[in-house]
A and B are shown apart, each in its own frame.
Chain A
Amino acid sequence: MPEPLVLIIDDEESMRDACAQILLKNKYRIEVAGDGASGLQKIRDLRPDAVIVDLKMPGTSGFEVLENLRLIDPQIAAIVITGYATVDSAVEAMKKGAYDFLPKPFTPEELRLILARALDHRRLALEAEALRREKKLLEENIITMVSHQLRSPLVAIQQYFEVILAGIAGDTAEKPKEMIRRARERLDALLNLINDWLDLARIDKGKIIGKLEPLNLLSLLEKLMEFMDPLAKEFGVSLEWTGSPAPMAEALGDKETLEQVFTNLISNAIQYNKPQGRVSISLREDPDCLVVEVQDTGIGISREHLPLIFDQFFQISRGESKKMKRSGLGLAIAKKIVEAHNGQIEASSTPGSGSTFTVRLPKAPPAAVSA
């Protein structure tokens, strides 16, 4: 990425020079314009990352620059400088799309800070925009992607059969048998994928709400840890309880679907772990909810993938099911279930050292005191 391009539009030469001097130390590329009209021309031609504009200029005013800037590219970060620091003009500028304003006189540090924040804001907005576009593209091609996922295993199986029937699979009986075993594995994976898709389509908020009841999360998690122990042993991973033993409120949940959520999180934590890794499971009571955390010591999730891991389209596009028995839809299903509970699920990760999945569930109302 080249250094951010910052355009300074001000009719006072001394002001332009001062800003440029301050910012040059921070590795920005600087352009200047002495009036609003030539400023707008430079915006069109150069597409700067940020514009610093004086509100009060003869000719085209700062307000007009802001209005036109928004039409040219609304993602350009605009900061206004104003000598007459009235609340009204600042509010007006913000309404017209300015990110922030800087009343004169200001210190170099103030200018640097506001510009850095504006550029940060712009970068995040651009990243979000790119994600939205990618997701839209995936959604538009969903039929192609889904049929690809369904067709790939079938084609692979057919291809093995073609080879076996052509009599070229090998001289021994073992080779064709191996091909049939592989074909069976692909069929198993395909069935899992279809089941998960159906699950995803069937999870219905109305139905889950209807089944909510006070639920002892502690005993549910204990039971699941016992159930998952063989899998953990198989992967050489230790399962640890790090939650508080203190009695706490019950959750308001649907046992069956929540078991599915935590089974999925724990089995991911085991299977994506390092050998001799650790999975820590904890439960605590916050003022307004119960919080379950499943933490692993695996390879972690890269920063650009993190916002996407709960997205069914992302999982489909990655084609995980081709290499694994899992459909890759488990997290999309978990998110849908937790949200149907009016809860939240989120992930944080440090690539290289592990990920933490956090589930927040509403508390059950205190039991009615019987007379």
Chain B
Amino acid sequence: MTKNPSKILVIDDDPDFVEAVTVILVSASHQVITASNPEDGKKKILSEKPDLVLLDIMMDSLFDGYSFCHAVKTSKEFESIRNTPIIFVSAVKEIAGSRFGFKGEEQGMAGPDDYIDKPVKPAELLARIDKLLRT
């Protein structure tokens, strides 16, 4: 069990995935807030000020997650919570690479603090969260 329970915002449009990840986070005594689309996510990151965000890269439109992350890390609107760590969660490993011609960071998009593949291993997810929360 983790030593520092925190508030975590999960942004993902798949209700089953959110449900399962919530169970994992709660098992480590984290408090979980969820959002099912980028707009709701933007609202909640400002109102709830989570300690960390788990962000699905590909929601209803391609690469939603990238623009969300970029906005949080660079736009004035999110200045107050700019340092909130963001972990990209994606089943499409190739998107992080170049298979579909989208290299977020090379195109000047601000990247996340960490990546993790879907489905996530409970122990690995919790360890990565802990690491980011400690730093």
A residues at B contact (CB < 8 Å): 141, 144-145, 147-148, 151-152, 155-163, 166, 168-170, 179, 182-183, 186, 317-319, 322-323
Which of B58, B62, B100, B122 makes the CB contact (< 8 A) with A162?
A: B122
Interface residues on B, range: 20 to 34
Smallest Cβ-Cβ distance to A175: which chain B residue? B23
Q: Determine if B16 is an interface residue (Cβ-Cβ < 8 Å).
A: yes
Asked if A168 and B122 sit within 8 Å, CB to CB, the answer is: yes
**A160-B122 Cα distance, complex, nearest whole Å:** 11
Task: State how many angstroms separate the Cβ of B83 from the closest Cβ of chain A.
Answer: 28
**A317-B14 Cα distance, complex, nearest whole Å:** 14
Asked if B119 and A318 sit within 8 Å, CB to CB, the answer is: no
Give the chain B neighbours of A152 by CB distance below 8 A. Answer: 14, 17, 91
Asked if A169 and B23 sit within 8 Å, CB to CB, the answer is: yes
Asked if A168 and B24 sit within 8 Å, CB to CB, the answer is: yes
Asked if A322 and B14 sit within 8 Å, CB to CB, the answer is: yes
Which of A168, A179, A186 makes the CB contact (< 8 A) with B27?
A: A168
Which of A144, A169, A182, A319 makes the CB contact (< 8 A) with B16?
A: A182
Within 8 A of A (CB), among B69-123: 91-92, 100, 118-123
10 pairs of A and B residues whose beta carbons are closest in the complex: A156-B16, A158-B119, A159-B20, A168-B27, A159-B119, A166-B122, A155-B118, A155-B91, A156-B17, A163-B20
Asked if A141 and B120 sit within 8 Å, CB to CB, the answer is: no
**A148-B92 Cα distance, complex, nearest whole Å:** 8
Task: State how many angstroms separate the Cβ of B133 from the closest Cβ of chain A.
Answer: 20
Q: Determine if B54 is an interface residue (Cβ-Cβ < 8 Å).
A: no
**A280-B13 Cα distance, complex, nearest whole Å:** 35
A and B contact pairs by CB, cutoff 8 A, 10 listed: A151-B92, A156-B14, A156-B20, A162-B20, A162-B121, A163-B24, A166-B27, A168-B27, A169-B23, A322-B15
Given contacts A319-B13, A322-B13, contact A179 B20 (CB under 8 A): yes
Asked if A144 and B20 sit within 8 Å, CB to CB, the answer is: no
Contact with A along B2-37 (1 / 0, CB 8 A): 000000000001111101110110010000000000
| Chain B contact residues, majority secondary structure | loop
**A141-B123 Cα distance, complex, nearest whole Å:** 34
Count contacts between A and B, CB distance < 8 Å: 73
**A242-B13 Cα distance, complex, nearest whole Å:** 41
Smallest Cβ-Cβ distance to A165: which chain B residue? B122
Task: State how many angstroms separate the Cβ of B18 from the closest Cβ of chain A.
Answer: 9
**A155-B16 Cα distance, complex, nearest whole Å:** 9
Which of A147, A159, A179, A322 makes the CB contact (< 8 A) with B118?
A: A159
Give the chain A neighbours of B21 by CB distance below 8 A. Answer: 159
Which of A144, A163, A182 makes the CB contact (< 8 A) with B62?
A: A144
Contact with A along B50-71 (1 / 0, CB 8 A): 0000000010111000000000
**A158-B118 Cα distance, complex, nearest whole Å:** 9
Asked if B62 and A160 sit within 8 Å, CB to CB, the answer is: no
**A163-B23 Cα distance, complex, nearest whole Å:** 7
Task: State how many angstroms separate the Cβ of A145 from the closest Cβ of chain B.
Answer: 8
Given contacts A168-B27, A317-B61, A319-B60, contact A186 B16 (CB under 8 A): yes
Given contacts A144-B62, A148-B92, contact A155 B23 (CB under 8 A): no
Smallest Cβ-Cβ distance to B21: which chain A residue? A159
Task: State how many angstroms separate the Cβ of A133 from the closest Cβ of chain B.
Answer: 14
Task: State how many angstroms separate the Cβ of B24 from the closest Cβ of chain A.
Answer: 6
**A183-B23 Cα distance, complex, nearest whole Å:** 15
Asked if B100 and A144 sit within 8 Å, CB to CB, the answer is: yes
Give the chain A neighbours of B14 by CB distance below 8 A. Answer: 152, 155-156, 322
Give the chain A neighbours of B91 by CB distance below 8 A. Answer: 148, 151-152, 155
